[in-house]
Chain A
């Protein structure tokens, strides 16, 4: 953790500004779409860093809340499609194929886009709050809570696949209308969509930063360090963990909504084990105790992954290369890439402190008997 809040704010701001300026230099629609996807993955990494890095809650099912957000957006956009894509009486096409005759009550409120956007954040947060309340209230921690998050994801995924007539089942929800707000149409390949994603990432990153720098963030780190000790100061540990778990889910939900806009569909694969484990890898590579590190980790890994899988040399071996890199980083850099930076900085300040101390020997008023 940085002890210089101003410097930290400047660095975070500079990175976000750079991301927002990318469209000024990149004109390729395909590239912008790809970068937007990477930024969404960056948001997911921020979300996991908040719960895993700061509160010690390893969420192996982060994709659950991502998927819930994605479906909220997809439902709203599906209902906005032109009649030619929908069945009779404004029903989504897949419902017609499944002999559904009227719009299910669950879908009704999604005719309002503002409702859908709110739901895309609040539904994942409420889901996480409920799950967290049971887990943390029951003092399930460590590897057991990780397994529960994984199991919960599998359950939600199965329900979505199973309820085909309401969710589109295995095919997901496709053929969506464009997301339109205030007269701006967000085409998946347009500059506006990239900017929307980058702006949301900036907001999410700074909101998460505010949480970690508040006293609540400090208490969360104390919980990560020694959960039991925190209770004896009068803090309700379960409530703190539930809060951060839900906040992380809200960010993931927002990312999910954006993903639907960028990909132009929602699919049960969004709530999958592969994505969830990928998020863990990004965050581990970037450094889980740094929000910015985790985010850059996601951009780096997905970027490298993208170019490796597209290059002919690594066409068949890129997963192996990625796996090898991950193992190396976990073995030799437990705090990820951000750990190297803060390690260098700490060494720098230690050297400065040592220089100061040697200049003032004998003037220490510290208690005697110190055996540092």
Chain B
């Protein structure tokens, strides 16, 4: 059992309902600093909603979300981001009209102020770091390209690179490998393993092969609740988990 006291992120008794539908139901979740946590569960289990609640895209109905010792659930989205939380969305969301380089420049958001950024031209200070990031995700040759012209897998990687440019202590990843080829998924797993320890990661994922490649601890959600938590083997042997996935072909095909 992870100690709640030293957890970097803690969801305490969190509930959210949208017009009577309870999407997340008295959820307790604690993630330690530097941990790579996978969040899985059948469709509609409340995984994406949980990420939305952490980053402020949706508001909790009751409970509390604590990050680094401060309650963040009442802050607005940009304030939550400034406490050090980055989010990758399920549908890759980058700035399609802008070039890859400009996208990365926007991701690099340590300075948020209007006036401060008014005096910054060309991004010279950040250039090398951003070019290294582009290299890391295989977009070095496409820095001048408009983001709209990238393939789906490349767009996913660009958004991952944006989050790395932002460099937040906690990263929320919603289905980072959706739509990627097997090769691309393998590269992504490699990348995530290098992030382990430097960042805290919470990854929502359907691809169990990918989850097995990266996860230490897996949290299984079902109908808005935390159903089970443990290693990949522990979780897939859990009778409750098997039951939850019944009819969908088992956990490996969720």
User: Are these two chains actual partners, yes or no?
Assistant: yes
A216 to B81, CA, bound (A): 18
* B160 cross-chain contacts in A, Cβ below 8 A: none
Contact indicator B87/A236 (Cβ below 8 Å) = no
Contact indicator B166/A367 (Cβ below 8 Å) = no
A239 to B154, CA, bound (A): 32
State how many angstroms separate the Cβ of B55 from the closest Cβ of chain A.
6
State how many angstroms separate the Cβ of B17 from the closest Cβ of chain A.
22
A351 within 8 A of B: no
Contact indicator A225/B98 (Cβ below 8 Å) = yes
Contact indicator B105/A225 (Cβ below 8 Å) = no
Contact indicator B121/A234 (Cβ below 8 Å) = no
* B154 cross-chain contacts in A, Cβ below 8 A: 370
Binary flags per residue of B71-105, CB closer than 8 Å to A gives 1, else 0: 00000111001100011010001111111001001
A251 to B125, CA, bound (A): 31
Stretch at the interface among B106-114, B233-241, B246-254: B106-114
A366 within 8 A of B: yes
* A372 cross-chain contacts in B, Cβ below 8 A: 149-151
Contact indicator B106/A232 (Cβ below 8 Å) = no
Other-chain residue from A218, A229, A240 in contact with B105 (beta carbon distance below 8 A): A218
Binary flags per residue of A318-351, CB closer than 8 Å to B gives 1, else 0: 0000000000000000000000000000000000
Stretch at the interface among B24-32, B181-189, B203-211: B181-189
Contact indicator A231/B77 (Cβ below 8 Å) = yes
A371 to B78, CA, bound (A): 34
Given A214-B117, A215-B105, A219-B117, A234:B144 Cβ within 8 A: no
* B142-183 contacts to A (CB < 8 Å): 144, 149-154, 162, 166, 181, 183
Other-chain residue from B86, B98, B153 in contact with A222 (beta carbon distance below 8 A): B98
Contact indicator B106/A234 (Cβ below 8 Å) = no
Residue from A230, A368, A369 whose CB has the most chain B CB atoms within 10 Å:
A369
* B93 cross-chain contacts in A, Cβ below 8 A: 226, 229
A364 within 8 A of B: yes
State how many angstroms separate the Cβ of A52 from the closest Cβ of chain B.
15
Contact indicator B181/A369 (Cβ below 8 Å) = yes
A133 to B52, CA, bound (A): 26
Other-chain residue from A214, A224, A230, A371 in contact with B106 (beta carbon distance below 8 A): A230
Contact indicator B112/A236 (Cβ below 8 Å) = yes
Binary flags per residue of A212-249, CB closer than 8 Å to B gives 1, else 0: 01111011011011101111111111011001000000
* A233 cross-chain contacts in B, Cβ below 8 A: 78, 81, 86, 106-107, 109, 162, 166
A219 to B95, CA, bound (A): 10
* A3 cross-chain contacts in B, Cβ below 8 A: 99, 144
Known pairs A5-B122, A235-B109, A370-B151 / 15 extra A-B pairs, C-beta < 8 Å = A214-B119, A216-B114, A218-B98, A222-B102, A226-B93, A226-B96, A228-B77, A231-B76, A231-B81, A234-B78, A236-B78, A237-B78, A243-B114, A366-B141, A372-B151
List 26 contacting pairs A-B, 8 Å CB cutoff, sorted by A: A3-B99, A214-B118, A214-B121, A216-B117, A216-B120, A218-B105, A221-B95, A222-B98, A225-B96, A225-B97, A225-B98, A226-B95, A228-B77, A231-B76, A231-B78, A232-B55, A232-B77, A233-B162, A236-B78, A239-B114, A240-B114, A367-B138, A367-B184, A369-B183, A370-B151, A370-B154
Interface residues of B (CB under 8 A from A): 55, 57, 76-78, 81-82, 86-87, 89, 93-99, 102, 105-107, 109, 112, 114-115, 117-123, 138, 141, 144, 149-154, 162, 166, 181, 183-184, 187
Interface residues of A (CB under 8 A from B): 3, 5, 211, 213-216, 218-219, 221-222, 224-226, 228-237, 239-240, 243, 364-372
